[in-house]
Structures are given as structure tokens and as C-alpha cells.
């Protein structure tokens, strides 16, 4: 990254901070700026990564982070978490073939251990990124990992925060990064890389004292939800055609703990790409092959109206006919708009192989 690009990034970030300062003082209350440097390597999930990787990954991020003060029970239950967003830049080990990545990632930080001068934390981020090089059959046929310039970027960190000075804290730890285009273009293997990072977090002003109140006892409740989602995908044959997908699901959940809900449910999937994919591999096709059915279990991390869910399912009845997968997985980000109506973003996969994204709505029964 050249000096001119860094100056532009700092100028843009300063402009954003200036808007916040001008607009409302709440923007800087319990807030800080974070500057971090990262060094790591690509994870060889596929053999070709070993041949493409020529160097370590080198990354830089500039973040705004706002710490909660405990004004509600959820903030105290999660040990005063933080929200923020980050501008992230990284080399990818091979400028000519893989290029470089620029990302914007909102994040959620949870303090696993919170002491006066030391914190152990987890930070999870999901956002969008732009990669400078992508697959091209003529000019960049070696890049069989990335099929589009725009991708979804996921960042998972485990870090330590150590008080150095009254107005500065040292951050260090490891991060796992993944980006891919959610099967909206082919190829879509994506890239994984792991980094060691070190950085400084500098608050805008003195942080407020944490509020401490006795949390009300948690009531274990059962809820039933009916969900309908729609999406789309490319087949895995570098086809330009885009296929419609959808799903109908029912789930029963129990809130055993305030922040963790467990569930079980049933799914019906529709995938319009099945006919063409079976034709390409010379297999017979029947109309009901476009449907799959299964059952799943789920684990949901809940924060007020938001939740992040992992599902593990097994195809039963109508099975998957292309790769003969037995299991499926889904990652879900959900928000309850009202007490009985939710919206969600879902990513369906088969273990580490992403299948397609969906957006959906849910109704509590």
C-alpha cells in the first residue's frame, strides 16, 4: 500500500469522525480509535494455495469502537460489549494473481475477561470487500479462488487489551479472515488467512464509570417460528446463469439461558439449478429433485433483538442429488422487527463449501 493510498484512507476516516463530532457528542462518548498492523499467511485449504502463495499477508486496519456502559441488562450480561466498524487493507501473498483486498467491516466485541487494566476479548466482524484481482479465463486463469471483485469478508479475532498509559491501550492477538462472494459468481472457493496483530486503541475522552445493577432472573421460554427465505446461486461450472433458490422452515427454540437459545426444526429447500447440473454430468432428472427436505438443530447467540445462529442439518426424504451431501449447514443473522416478526440473512453451505445466500422473514406462531 503506497503512502498516497494511506493518506487518502486516513483523510476519509478523519472526515467520518469529524461528521460524528459535529453531529453529536454521543459519537465520542466511551469511544476510541484503533490502529492495527497484521502479519500472517494464507491457509492451504486447497492444494493450489500452496503454489499461489509467494509471501506472507500484510494487513492494516483503522477502526472506530464504542464501548457500552451497562445501561441495560443485555450490556451487563455480555460484560460491557463494544460495537464498531473497521477499514481493513491486506495483501494476499501474490499481487499478480490474487491481488489485494480492501474491506469495510462492522464488528461486535465481547469481553471474555474484563479487569481494570486487562481484557481478553473476542471480536466478530462481517462486511464487504473489494479484491483487485479476480479470475479471468484469458488474463488471470490461475486465480481459481476468487470469481468477483466484490466479496463478503468475515473476521474472527481473539485478542488481549492491556492498559499502557491513561489514554492508550495495547491490543494484540490472532485473527482468522475469510472472503468469498457467497456463490454469486464462479469460481467461489474464496481465501482464508490467519494473522497475528498488534495495535493501539486511543480513547477520544475519559470513559464513563460502568453501571452495575442486579439482573432480573431469566425466564426459560419456548417459541415457534415459521420462516420463508429466497435467494439465488450460480452452478459450479463457471456458468453465467443465475438460479432461483428458496426455503421454508419451521423451528422450535427454548431459551435455556439469557444469551444462548437451542432449537430443533425442519426444512424444505428449492434449488432451480438441479436440472441443468444433472444434465451437465449426464445424470437423469426428475422434477422433484429440485426439492430437498431435512431436519436440523440450532444454537443461537442472542443479544436483545439480534441473534447469530448456527444450524447443522441432515437431509431426510428428498436428498441432495448433485454431490450426494448428507449434511447441510446454515449461518443466520436475525433481527426481530417486532415481537412476532423477524428479518434475516442466511448462508447455506455444506461444511466449508458455500452454496447460496438468502434473505427471509419469520413469523412467531
The tens digit of pLDDT for each residue in 285-322 reads 999 999 999 999 999 999 989 999 999 999 999 999 99
Cell numbers found for residue 295: 431436519
Higher pLDDT, 320 or 51: 320
CA 62 to chain centre: 18
Question: For the stretch 261-299, what's the b/e string if a residue is b when 16 or more beta carbons lie within 10 angstroms of its beta carbon?
Answer: bebebbbbbebebbeebbeeeeeeeeeebbebebebebe
**317 to each of 55, 64, 252, 321, 325, how far by Cα in Å?**
48, 49, 20, 12, 13
Domains and CATH numbers, the chain: 3-203 (2.40.160.20), 222-364 (2.40.160)
Q: Which of 230, 229, 307, 219 is nearest to 263 (CA)?
A: 307
CA 332 to chain centre: 10
**166 to each of 163, 198, 365, how far by Cα in Å?**
7, 19, 52
First to last CA, the chain: 53
- Cα atoms in the Cβ-side hemisphere of radius 13 Å centred on 109: 27
| Cα 149 from Cα 143, distance rounded (Å) | 12
Q: What is the band of 182 on the pLDDT scale with cuts at 50, 70, 90?
A: confident
Q: Which pLDDT belongs to residue 184?
A: 74
- pLDDT tens for 156-174 read 999 999 998 878 899 999 9
- pLDDT tens for 125-135 read 999 999 999 98
**Mean pLDDT calculated for residue range 36-43:** 93
Q: Which pLDDT belongs to residue 22?
A: 44
**Mean pLDDT calculated for residue range 90-117:** 91
* Neighbouring-strand partners of residue 121: 111, 159
- Residue 128 contacts residue 151 (beta carbons within 8 Å): yes
**Mean pLDDT calculated for residue range 101-122:** 90
Tell which phi-psi region holds residue 70, choosing left (phi > 0), alpha (psi between -120 and 50) or beta: left
Amino acid at each position: 500500500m503506497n503512502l498516497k493510498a494511506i493518506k487518502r484512507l486516513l483523510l476519509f476516516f478523519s472526515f467520518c469522525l469529524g461528521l460524528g463530532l459535529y453531529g453529536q457528542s454521543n459519537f465520542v462518548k466511551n469511544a476510541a480509535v484503533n490502529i492495527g498492523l497484521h502479519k500472517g499467511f494464507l491457509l492451504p485449504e486447497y492444494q493450489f494455495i500452496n503454489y499461489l502463495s509467494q509471501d506472507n499477508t500484510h494487513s492494516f486496519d483503522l477502526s472506530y469502537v464504542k464501548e457500552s456502559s451497562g445501561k441495560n441488562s443485555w450490556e451487563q450480561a455480555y460484560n460491557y460489549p463494544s460495537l464498531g466498524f473497521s477499514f481493513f487493507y491486506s495483501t494476499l501473498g501474490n499481487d499478480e494473481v490474487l491481488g489485494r483486498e480492501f474491506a469495510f467491516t462492522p464488528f461486535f466485541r465481547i469481553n471474555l475477561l474484563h479487569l481494570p487494566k486487562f481484557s481478553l476479548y473476542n471480536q466478530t466482524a462481517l462486511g464487504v470487500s473489494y479484491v483487485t484481482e479476480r479470475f479471468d479465463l484469458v488474463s488471470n486463469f490461475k486465480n481459481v479462488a476468487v470469481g468477483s471483485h466484490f466479496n463478503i469478508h468475515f473476521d474472527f479475532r481473539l485478542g488481549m487489551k492491556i492498559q499502557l498509559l491513561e489514554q492508550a491501550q495495547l491490543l494484540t492477538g490472532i485473527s482468522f479472515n475469510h472472503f468469498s462472494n457467497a456463490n454469486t459468481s464462479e469460481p467461489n472457493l474464496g481465501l482464508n488467512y490467519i494473522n497475528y496483530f498488534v495495535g493501539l486503541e486511543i480513547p477520544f475522552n475519559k470513559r464513563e464509570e460502568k453501571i452495575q445493577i442486579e439482573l432480573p432472573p431469566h425466564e426459560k421460554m419456548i417459541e415457534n417460528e415459521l420462516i420463508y427465505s429466497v435467494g439465488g446461486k450460480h452452478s459450479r461450472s463457471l456458468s453465467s446463469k443465475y438460479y432461483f433458490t428458496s426455503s421454508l422452515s419451521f423451528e422450535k427454540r427454548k431459551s435455556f439461558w439469557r444469551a444462548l437459545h437451542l432449537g430443533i426444526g425442519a426444512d424444505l429447500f428449492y434449488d432451480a439449478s438441479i436440472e441443468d447440473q444433472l444434465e451437465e454430468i449426464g445424470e437423469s432428472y426428475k422434477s422433484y429433485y429440485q426439492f430437498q427436505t431435512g431436519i436440523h438443530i440450532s444454537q443461537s447467540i442472542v443479544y436483545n433483538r439480534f441473534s447469530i445462529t448456527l444450524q447443522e442439518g441432515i437431509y431426510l426424504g428428498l436428498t441432495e442429488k448433485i454431490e450426494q451431501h448428507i449434511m447441510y449447514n446454515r449461518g443466520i443473522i436475525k433481527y426481530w422487527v417486532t415481537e412476532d416478526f423477524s428479518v434475516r440473512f442466511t448462508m447455506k453451505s455444506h461444511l466449508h463449501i458455500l452454496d447460496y445466500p438468502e434473505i427471509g422473514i419469520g413469523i412467531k406462531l
